[in-house]
Every structure is written in C-alpha cells, then in structure tokens.
Chains A and B, each alone.
Chain A
Amino acid sequence: MHAHKILYLLDNLEKYICQALLGFFAVVLFAQISLRALFSIVLPWSEEISRFAFVWFVFLGASYASRLSAHNRVTLQFKLFRSEAVGKCCMLLSDLIWVFFNIVMIKESFKVIGNLKAFSFHSPALGWNMAYVYYIFPISFTLMTIRILQVNYIKFFLKQEIVDVDKVNPEDYKQMAEELSDSGRT
C-alpha cells in the first residue's frame, strides 16, 4: 500500500512541482503589481525570482508533457500505410533519437554549470550563483529521458493506450450547458 502511494507520487512528481511553481510566481507577481499600484512600493527581487521560478516551471512542465505524451508530432503521413506498425516503429526510433539528444543536453549543461561556477556568475537582483539556476537543465533533461522510456514501456510492454490529452472531452462542459439551459430560458 505504501509503496503504491510512493510510486503514484513519483509518477506525478513534475505535476506537483509545476503546480507549486506556477502558484508561487503568480502570487509573487500579483503581490508586486498590487504593492506598486497601491503603495508605490517596488520590490527589487520579485521579478527575478518569478522569472527563475518560471524557467524551472517550463522545463519541468516539458518533462510532464513527455509523461503525458503530449509533445506535438506530425503523424498524418502514417495513414498512407495499411499497417500501424510503420508508424509505431518510426516513432520508437524518433524517441531513441530524442533520448540521445537529451543525453547531449545533460552533458553540455554540466559543462555550462562548471563554467558558471568557475567564474561565479551572480544574478543581478538576488545575488544567486547562476549555476544553481542552471541545475534545472540536467534535472529536466534527465527526467524527460526517464519519462520517454516510461511511456514507451507502457505502450510496448504493458500494452496500454496513452490517453490523448488534446482531445477535449465534451462531457467536461456538459454540466455548464445544463445549468445554462435550465436557468436561462423561460
């Protein structure tokens, strides 16, 4: 039971962090705007910290999108073939190239982080060492690699369908439509 829960948490890890980061920078920016408009107080650090939170949010969100298999592909050309196998094999191949791309990115980001540490670059407002901000790249590209492999494992070994997140489910809007037609017309 416990192990199950931990696995569930890990499966949704990026989602939780992203929700927290998004909430965080939205609140910080709102505080900045309100303080400026109401009391003419200008916070020197608020924009920078929200921008850094945003960068982390984007690249963790990209990993979350990989888990959902949501990255847009052009798949129309596969309809030319009778069997689905062609498309499946091609996309598996492309995912392997993706893993290779990510490994290059991980290696290169450690190089950049090393340079930033050696020359100790600091952010202008917060005075943070930029190397720590750049740690998002090895983290997110590693997570993305894991997610790509996980999705292919689910597809080919567990033989489960990955739900298409772009498909809007009309049921989600059903309640809204019912409320409107109940109360609106006489």
Chain B
Amino acid sequence: MSATAILFGVFALLLLIGSPITLALGAASLAAFFYIGQDLSTLVTIAFNSVNSFPIMALPAFVLAGSLMDCAGVSKRLIRVAEAMVGKINGGLAITTTLACVFFGAISGSGPATTAAVGMLMIPAMIKRGYDKGYAASTTATSGGIGIIIPPSIPMVIYGVTAQESITKMFIAGVIPGLLIAAGLIIVHMIRCRNKDYSSDMEPLSIKKLYKAIREGFWAILAPVIILGGIYTGIFTPTEAAIVAIFYILFIGTLVYREITIKGLLKSLETTSWLTGRVLLIMFTAFAFGRLLVQYRIPDLIAQAMLNFSTDVHVIWGLVVLFLLFIGMFMETLAIIMIVTPVLLPVMTHLGVDPIHFGTILVCCCGVGFSTPPLGENMFIASGIADVTLEEISYKALPFCGITIGAIALMVIFPDIVLWLPRVMGY
C-alpha cells in the first residue's frame, strides 16, 4: 500500500461517515505522515504557517464588513438604487433583483448573504405583482451567485491565498465575467416574461426618481467605490481595503444613517468569529493535504492521465467544468476551492492555462453550485422566504443555471473575457 492510497482512502472514508471536511483532510494527512515516517510535528508548523499571513486577514475583514452593512442600513439603500434604475419593461422586478445582487456583490463577498438581503425585499414584491412564487425564488437564488464573482469576493480571497496568486488581480478579472452573467440572466428574464402582465403598474424610468435614490444612497454607494477604487489604484491591499471598509461602514452607520446598534455590532463580530474559524481550520488541513499531493506528484499524474485522454485543451476544460459543477452540488464553496486548487491548478497550468483564468472559472462554477440541489445554500434561503419547495426552485432555476453555464463556456473559449481587463489595467 502506498502513501497516496492511504491519503485518499482515509479522506474518502471519513467523508463518507460524515466527518467534518477539515477532519477528513487532517486525519488523512496525519495517517500519510505517520506511514512515511515524517515527524508529525510538521502538522503544527503547517497549522501556524497556513494562517500566519497578512493576505488571509482579508477574509474576516470582508465577512465583518458585509455583516455590518446590513445593520448599518447600507444594504437597503443600495437595493433602492437598483430599483430606481429599472423602468417599465418586461420582467422589470426580476431584472431589478439581478441588478441589486450585482450592487450588493460589490460590497459583500458572499452568495447566501446577498440572496438573503435582496430576496427578503424582492421576493415578496415580485409575488405581489403576480410573479410565480417559484420563479421569484429561483430568480433570487441564481442572481445571488453573482455576489461571489463581482469583487470583492471571499472565494477569490481564498483562491488567491491557496494558489498564491494576486488577490487584486482576481478582483479585477471578476468584473467582466460577473457583468456578463448578469446580462445573460437579464436577457432570460426579458424573454421569459415577455407575454406576462407583470409590469403594467410599474412606474416608467424617471431621472428624478433615480436622482433621489442616488442622493439618499450616496454614502452607501461610496462604500464599494472606496473598497474597489482603493484596491485598483494600489492605495490599499485587499486586506487594508476591507479594514477601511469596516470603519467607513461603522462611521456612516453611527453618524450618517444612525442605524447601527451595539447589539448589531456584537452579532457581526460573533458571526465573523465562527465563520473564520471554520474556514481557516480547513485551510490548515488542506495545506497539509496539498503538501502531500505535491510531494507525491499527484497533479502530474492527473495531468498525464488527462493528456492521454485528450490533448485538446477545450475538451479538458469541458471535463474540469463538469467536474466542478458536479462537486458544487454536494460541497461547500470555500472547501471546494481549497481542495480542488492544489490538485487541478498545476494540471491546468501544465496545459498552458493562466492561473487567473482558471481561478475565475472555478469561482463562477461555485456560483452555479449555490443554486443546484441537493446542497444549494442560496436555494435554501430563497425557499424559506418564498415558501416553495426546493424541487420547484431547482426546476425553475434550470434556464438561469443554463445561461450561466453558457457564459462560463464563453469564458473558457475566449480567455480574454477574463484576462483582458487585468492586462489593460497593468497587472
């Protein structure tokens, strides 16, 4: 029996008996280290080195900023701006929902948080205008996935750290894919709602109303401007930008909007604590696991097997995307990124794929995973709000997932959709 067999065997067995993902990775590495006679205290050093890094501190900072936005009253003002931007067209409210998710994604880095904040407002509004319940819920669940593609994005932070790529570059690369998927969803809404009487009592687009919404939401809109502007101009690193965002949101939450409470602040700190602890414990064990993979040249073996199957990079991309969509149905997003990156990234770079290109596609596939059953975090939230079954949402979400996968295929075939913007911005 080889060390590789032990590594994968223990990992698969533990996952099967329902152990936490972090333990499955950790115990598998421990067993493999023990088998090859490596000093087990290496694990402790790995535990320290995996989190003793400045870039990863962006993770809790962005989680905290996103959580504070809700209790500071920033979120709802952004949604109102999105509302004012859409006039009397087919599927107007569904389009508003998609736009609101894009805006929201520009501050929050999380899919489920985007779905909850936007859905709580937009789903009841859509149902009131006569939209089908399942349609309203699936609209929000699929649009919520855009939240992790539009920067800043927590999965991109995790990818940047795991792959040792620039997080800033990932944040720039995500802009066009995010907008492309949003545009795709909007077109589907316009087609699917064209003969329905959903928008007869909607107000036409008015500059006055838009101006009013922007003026009221001015300080809220400034939040993403500060975060992204600061990162893109190179004034802040992503971690620093997130820290600045926290204090900016605290500032407008207490002095301008006066909606933030001590209770809300403590609650945000609490959520950030367990979320970060959970994710970065996986980071530690995934690091140990990844080190063994490299030591035993597993990525090389996989690359070789794939090349024996086909030498066409598009065919291999197709297999990789299908695989990512498949595990996205079962596993949590950040865990997928931490497990898949050390295995597949070397394979893809071996085939001449740019790491930023691969990372963006990976994150987009995870975005689809939010709204595919059985484990689709966004669907759970949307079904709770709209009071419809998961089966109905997943069925109604199929066209939206289809168009998103279509957009992913475009990005695979034309890498410049992802790589053009980072290049012209000089990264």
Residues of A within 8 A of B (CB): 14-15, 18-19, 22-23, 25-26, 29-30, 33, 47, 50-52, 54-55, 57-65, 68, 70-78, 87, 90-91, 93-95, 97-98, 101, 104-105, 108-109, 111-112, 115, 133-134, 137, 165-170, 172-174, 176-177, 179-181, 184
The 9 A-B residue pairs with the shortest CB-CB distance in the complex, in nearest-first order? A61-B277, A94-B19, A173-B120, A18-B273, A71-B20, A62-B277, A62-B281, A90-B17, A65-B278
The answer to whether B52 touches A55, judged by C-beta atoms less than 8 angstroms apart, is yes
Say whether B408 faces chain A, with CB atoms less than 8 Å apart: no
Say whether B57 faces chain A, with CB atoms less than 8 Å apart: yes
Query: How many residues belonging to B are interface residues under a CB distance threshold of 8 Å?
Result: 75
Query: Which residues from B are CB-within-8-Å of A108?
Result: 40-41, 43-44
Query: Taking the nearest CB of chain A, how far is it from the CB of B262, in angstroms?
Result: 12
Query: Which residues from B are CB-within-8-Å of A165?
Result: 274
Q: Given that A166-B377, A176-B120 are known contacts, is A77 also in contact with B18, CB under 8 Å in the complex?
A: yes
Say whether B116 faces chain A, with CB atoms less than 8 Å apart: yes
Cα–Cα, bound, A71→B274 (Å)? 9
Query: Which residues from B are CB-within-8-Å of A47?
Result: 54
Cα–Cα, bound, A91→B380 (Å)? 23
Residues of B within 8 A of A (CB): 14-23, 26-27, 30, 40-41, 43-45, 47-48, 51-54, 56-57, 60-61, 64, 70, 75-76, 79-80, 83, 112-113, 116-117, 119-121, 124-125, 236, 239-240, 243-244, 246-247, 266, 269-270, 272-278, 280-282, 330-332, 335, 374-375, 377, 380-381, 384-385
Per a CB cutoff under 8 Å, which of A70, A74, A111, A174 touches B331? A74
The answer to whether B120 touches A174, judged by C-beta atoms less than 8 angstroms apart, is yes
Query: Which residues from A are CB-within-8-Å of B79?
Result: 180
Per a CB cutoff under 8 Å, which of B21, B76, B119, B377 touches A180? B76
Per a CB cutoff under 8 Å, which of A26, A33, A62 touches B280? A62
Cα–Cα, bound, A69→B85 (Å)? 42
The answer to whether B44 touches A23, judged by C-beta atoms less than 8 angstroms apart, is no
Q: Given that A33-B244, A58-B280 are known contacts, is A51 also in contact with B53, CB under 8 Å in the complex?
A: yes
